Structure 1
Amino acid sequence: MSKPLEIGTLVVVVLKARHLHQPSFYKQNPYAQASLSGLTKRSKVDQKGGQHPVWDDELRFPVLADVGKDKANRILEVGCYKDEQRGEDILLGKGTVNIEETLKTGEFDDWVPLETSAGSRGELYLEMTFYANASPSPSVTRRPSKLTPSDRLSRPGSYYPQGQPSQPS
C-alpha cells in the first residue's frame, strides 16, 4: 500500500483560551493539544495560566491528499488540558474544526468552542494558514492576526464594569 500524498502544510497557531473550566481552587497550568491525521502535537504549558492561558505556539501538520470517503484527515481535533505533576493530565475541554474551508481559502482565525460531556468548557483561539506544496512558497511565514495587537496576547482584564467589585455599604 502506498503512502498518501502530502499536499501541503497546515500551520496552526494556538494563541490563547478563555473561560476554561477550572476543576480546582488553585490556578491551573493548562496546555493545548491538536491532532490531525493521527499526528498529535501540543503547546507549552502556561504556568498559572488559569482560565485564560496565552501560548502563541505554532504547530505544523502535513496535510494529506483526500483519500476517498475518509474525512478523518480533514478534521482538526483540539483540546485543553490541565498539566498534572502527579498522575494523568485532566481534560478541560475539546472541540473540532473541519479544515476543508481552510484548505480552499488558505486561512482561519476564530474561537473554537470547547466541550466535555458536562457541557460548554470555554473557547480556544486558533489562527491557521494552509501552504500548498504545488505553489512555489519562498518561506512559510505567519500572516497578521485578525485580533487587534492589544487583544492578541492579552488576558482578560477586570470582569467588573467599573473596574472594581462593588463593596457592601
Structure 2
Amino acid sequence: MSRELGTLVIVVLKAQHLIDNHTFYKQDPYAKLALSGATKRTPVDPKGGQHPVWDVELRFPISKDPSKSNRTLTISVFSEEKKDDELLGEGDVDISETLKTGEFDGVSTLSLLMFAVGSTSR
C-alpha cells in the first residue's frame, strides 16, 4: 500500500519587488521550494534583478501523513553569488486546503513571490 496521496504540481511563475543589494549589476535570482523533506529549485534567471521570471513546473510527492511538516511548503528566493548565495526572502504556504479540494488553479501571493499551484498544464 502506497504512502503517497499523489503529486503536487507547482508552477513557479515569477517574483516581484525583491530586495537588491547590488549597485553595479542586476542580481541572478532563483527560487528553492521544500516540502516533506524534498527540495527543488528553479533555474537562475540571469540578470533577473528584482523581478525575475521562471515559469517552471516542479512536482512534489504528497504523503498521506497529514502532519504540519507534510503540509507546509517553504519557498525561498536567493541571489546566486560567486561565494555564498544570498537569501532574499522566504515564506511558508499551508497546502492543506489545496489538498482537501483536490486542485487549485489560482495564484497565491507571498510578499516575496507569486506562484500558481495546480495540476493543469500551461
**Normalising by structure 1, what TM-score?**
0.66
* Count of residues in Structure 1 that have an aligned counterpart in Structure 2: 119
Specify the code of the residue in structure 2 equivalent to 1:16. K
**2:94 counterpart of 1:98:** yes
**2:53 counterpart of 1:54:** yes
Residues 18, 51 of structure 1: 8 Å contact kept: yes
1:165 is aligned to: none
* Matched residue SS, 1:18: coil
**2:118 counterpart of 1:129:** yes
Deviation of 1:104 (Å): 1.7
Q: Distance in 1 between matches of 2:43 and 2:95?
A: 23
| Alignment deviations for residues 83-112 of structure 1 (CA, whole Å, 9 cap, x no partner) | 11x211100000010000111221152211
Q: Distance in 2 between matches of 1:104 and 1:17?
A: 27
2:74 is aligned to: 77
Deviation of 1:4 (Å): 7.2
If you compute each CA radius of gyration, which structure gives the higher value, 1 or 2?
1
Residues 4, 64 of structure 1: 8 Å contact kept: no
Unaligned 5+ residue runs, structure 1?
Answer: 114-122, 131-140, 144-169
Q: Distance in 2 between matches of 1:81 and 1:46?
A: 11
The runs of 4+ residues in structure 1 deviating greater than 2 Å are: none
CA RMSD of aligned residues (A): 1.7
Q: Distance in 1 between matches of 2:80 and 2:70?
A: 27
- Work out the percentage of aligned pairs sharing the same amino acid: 51
Unaligned 5+ residue runs, structure 2?
Answer: none
1:9 is aligned to: 7
Q: Distance in 1 between matches of 2:50 and 2:2?
A: 39
Residues 44, 55 of structure 1: 8 Å contact kept: yes
Specify the code of the residue in structure 1 equivalent to 2:62. V
Q: Distance in 2 between matches of 1:22 and 1:31?
A: 13
Residues 14, 125 of structure 1: 8 Å contact kept: yes
Deviation of 1:71 (Å): 1.1
| Alignment deviations for residues 136-164 of structure 1 (CA, whole Å, 9 cap, x no partner) | xxxxx426xxxxxxxxxxxxxxxxxxxxx
